[in-house]
Structure formats: C-alpha cells, structure tokens
C-alpha cells in the first residue's frame, strides 16, 4: 500500500507546556484511520499538526497526498453565504472558473444528499445535520485524496450521527480518499475505520493500534458491538480511553 501521511517523532508545546510528544503515525493511501483517546490527550492537536494548521515544535510531517480537505466538529460555515457559496469557497480561493465551480458544487452536494433547493439557503435556515452535510461537501468539492475529520459528529444525536457516518463511509468508498478521523467514540471508530490508533492518555505518542476486521460499510452492527465490547472489557489498550482530565484540554 502506498503511503499518504507520515508523522515521525512529532511534538508540540503550548505556552511552555508539552501537549503531545513522540507521535509516530503512518496512513496508507485510501486507508481510513481513526485516532481515539480520552479528552485532553491531544488528538485534535495531532490532526492540526498533520494538516499543517500548526507547526510541530519537533519532529517531521510528510504529506504524500495531492490535496486534503478538513471537516471540524463545528461546521464553520460563513453565516452571510448560501450553502452553495460555502461549499464553493475553497474553489474561489483556488481561482477555479465559475462554470466549473458550479458543476463541482452540485456534484459534491449530491454526494451528501443536499437538494438543489438546499444550496440556496443560508446556514441559519439549515438544520444541524444539513449544516454538517454542507461542511463535508465543502471538503469533498476540492476532490481531495485525504480528509481530516476532527470529531465532526460529536454534537449530533445518535440517529443523525449514524447517518453522517454512513455518508462518510459511502463517500470514502466512492472517492477512495484516505482519512484521519478523530473521535472518542469507539463504535464510531469501528464503523468508519480500517484501523484504530489509541492515543496515550498523557499525549506521549500512540499507545497502540488495532485493525478492524472487514471493510467499512460491510460490518454488521452485531459484529461491531461484539468487537467494541471486547475492547472495553478485555483489551488493556482501551483501559483509559474514557478518562477525562479537563486541565489538559488546550
């Protein structure tokens, strides 16, 4: 498998305090990798370093993909722009021709099941789920071969979260992009990812990894429940995954 992303000995400090250290990670082309761990352990910091939003204080990041998109916990849509214009925003920044922008926005919107009429609405007129669909379409519109998902469905209810997970699974299968998916939800990680990495409780690198049997979208709920239950009960790697220390949250 070709490699899409490599982190080697990555470290980051904030106001003199080390947030993460010794992070080594390798993600293959077309591979969805979930990063799980307790709140405050530095998962989002790792995603921000990997994507280039912040620079590591030590270590090296090799981005071997062509282009990436990002989906955050909050949709981060421009309040004064329609859904269409929000999705088109990265294309405007890239000076893409207007005719091509409209075509690509329509294609990305269709992938996330947004209707043409939805594209004329402003964020305030969209439900929470529709706003997140628009955010995912904005990431897809640049036709990336890598996407960073930073706990994108945490604020959604269980039924809507599942629909959004299915949307990501289908989009990844169709476009064959690789992804780093940050989450604290083991069931979500097992549904979406090929492989699950577990962050050390104190941000000291990756404590370990587990490969998820089968392919995303082809795993039964029963199999996923059995797997995550065994992780909870029997696997020491996941022992502290639900520990929370708010004092460590940046």
Taken in order 188, 192, 196, 201, is the CA torsion positive or negative? Answer: negative
Alpha-carbon span 45 to 90, nearest angstrom: 23
pLDDT tens, position by position, 118-129: 999 999 999 988
Whole-angstrom Cα distance, residue 87 to residue 10?
32
Tens digits of residue pLDDT in 160-210 = 889 899 999 999 988 899 999 999 899 999 999 999 999 998 889 999 999
* pLDDT, position 157: 85
Q: What is the mean pLDDT of residues 224-241?
A: 90
pTM of the model: 0.92
User: 46 φ, ψ to 5°?
Assistant: -60, -45
Per-residue model confidence as pLDDT tens digits over 90-101: 999 888 888 899
Q: Is pLDDT of 68 > 50?
A: yes
Backbone angles phi, psi at 100, to 5 degrees: -70, -35
Residues 6+ apart with CB under 8 A from 55: 49
Q: Which residues pair with 20 in a beta bridge?
A: 12
pLDDT digits 0-9 by tens, 69-109: 999 988 999 999 999 999 999 999 888 888 899 999 999 99
Is the pLDDT at 39 greater than 60? The verdict is yes
Mean pLDDT over all residues of the chain? 91
Q: Which residues contact 126 (CB under 8 A, 6 or more apart)?
A: 83, 118, 134
């Amino acid at each position: 498998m070709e490699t899409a992303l490599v982190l080697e000995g990555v470290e980051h400090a904030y106001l003199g305090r080390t947030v993460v250290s010794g992070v080594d990670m390798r993600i293959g082309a077309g591979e969805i990798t979930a990063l799980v761990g307790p709140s405050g352990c530095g998962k989002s910091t790792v995603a921000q370093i990997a994507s280039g939003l912040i620079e590591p204080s030590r270590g090296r990041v090799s981005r071997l993909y062509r282009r990436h998109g990002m989906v955050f916990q909050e949709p981060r849509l421009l309040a004064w722009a329609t859904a269409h214009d929000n999705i088109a925003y990265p294309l405007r920044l890239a000076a893409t021709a207007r005719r091509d922008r409209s075509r690509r926005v329509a294609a990305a919107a269709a992938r996330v099941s947004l209707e043409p009429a939805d594209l004329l609405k402003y964020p305030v007129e969209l439900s929470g789920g529709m706003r997140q669909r628009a955010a995912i379409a904005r990431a897809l519109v640049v036709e990336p071969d890598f996407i960073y998902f930073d706990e994108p469905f945490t604020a959604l209810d269980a039924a809507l979260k599942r629909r959004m997970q299915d949307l990501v699974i289908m989009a990844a299968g169709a476009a064959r992009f690789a992804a780093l998916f940050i989450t604290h939800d083991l069931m979500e990680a097992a549904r979406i990812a090929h492989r699950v990495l577990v962050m050390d409780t104190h941000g000291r690198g990756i404590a370990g990894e587990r490969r998820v049997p089968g392919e995303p979208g082809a795993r039964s709920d029963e199999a996923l429940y059995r797997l995550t239950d065994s992780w909870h009960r029997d696997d020491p790697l996941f022992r502290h995954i639900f520990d929370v220390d708010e004092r460590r949250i940046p």
